[in-house]
A and B are shown apart, each in its own frame.
Chain A
């Protein structure tokens, strides 16, 4: 409901028109508005994806490196096993030769003994 105004109220309204703002008011307000802060480099899309790609690449490279080391260790272990087998094989051959040589001597001794008898 709109309430009627008397002369005094009308005069009051007339005198309470908006004032002029001080000179340069808008400029002073604008000066206080913080300049848009450049977003941190990390959050710019190109850099963000570059960082993500670098991290993934590092993880893949780390995995490959571990795989490579495992393969080298496997090779080394295989060579050691082969070496051990070779050593074992040659040792067995020597032992066998010695055994065979001992047997031959025994046979020749017993044959000689039987001939003498």
Chain B
């Protein structure tokens, strides 16, 4: 658990944007891992399983928070950044996470898998069950939106 907890928590946190909810999801994921451990053969298998389940559980939790999702969609539509209260490891990381949270959930998950987990689009397609074209489209659109928002809000990214 020590080896994987930061990754699982980060996925949940960056999809949900809230520490308490992210911890709850991460705890649930590890409890589910405890029950499924007998079926998982290698560390790589465990890593991929955790990534997939963390993404799904966090996305499910996000769907359940309908009001908050509506708010995020409105802010996304208006181009206003969502500023959730988060405890960050660094101010810049915090800003990037805030910008990520303004993206639609599917784009957010795909960007996380690409840039946090360092997966190639083909691997993201396999892990999420999305067609490769959809993954590429989410990546392109998400990245474009993020770049625009970053240019507007973060001087650090204006060179992109």
Contacts and interface: CB of A to CB of B under 8 A. Distances in A.
Interface of A: 1-3, 6-9, 11-13, 15-22, 25-26, 28-29, 32-33
> Chain B: interface secondary structure?
helix
B34 A19 contact: no
Given A15-B90, A19-B9, 5 more contacts: A1-B120, A2-B120, A16-B14, A21-B23, A28-B27
Contact of A20 (B6, B26, B156): B6
Given A3-B121, A15-B93, A16-B116, A8 B31 contact: no
Contact of A19 (B1, B13, B122, B160): B13
Contacts of A33: 31, 34
B102 to A, nearest CB: 14
Contacts of A19: 6, 9-10, 13, 88-89, 93
Contacts of A12: 96, 111, 115, 146
Nearest to A28: B27
A109 B96 CA distance: 149
A29 B30 contact: yes
Contacts of A3: 120-121
Contact of B1 (A2, A18, A22, A26): A26
A13 B92 CA distance: 12
Given A16-B14, A21-B9, A32 B160 contact: no
B160 A15 contact: no
Contact of A9 (B93, B121, B143): B143
A32 B27 contact: yes
A47 B83 CA distance: 62
A8 B27 contact: no
B112 to A, nearest CB: 7
Given A18-B10, A19-B10, A29-B1, A13 B118 contact: yes
Nearest to B146: A12
Contacts of A11: 156-157, 160
Of B146, B147, B159, B160, the most chain A CB neighbours within 10 A belong to B160
A117 B19 CA distance: 148
8 contacts: A11-B160, A16-B10, A17-B89, A18-B7, A19-B6, A19-B93, A25-B23, A33-B34
B150 interface: yes
A6 B143 CA distance: 11
B51 to A, nearest CB: 12
B41 interface: no
A6 B111 CA distance: 14
Contact of A17 (B93, B121, B147): B93
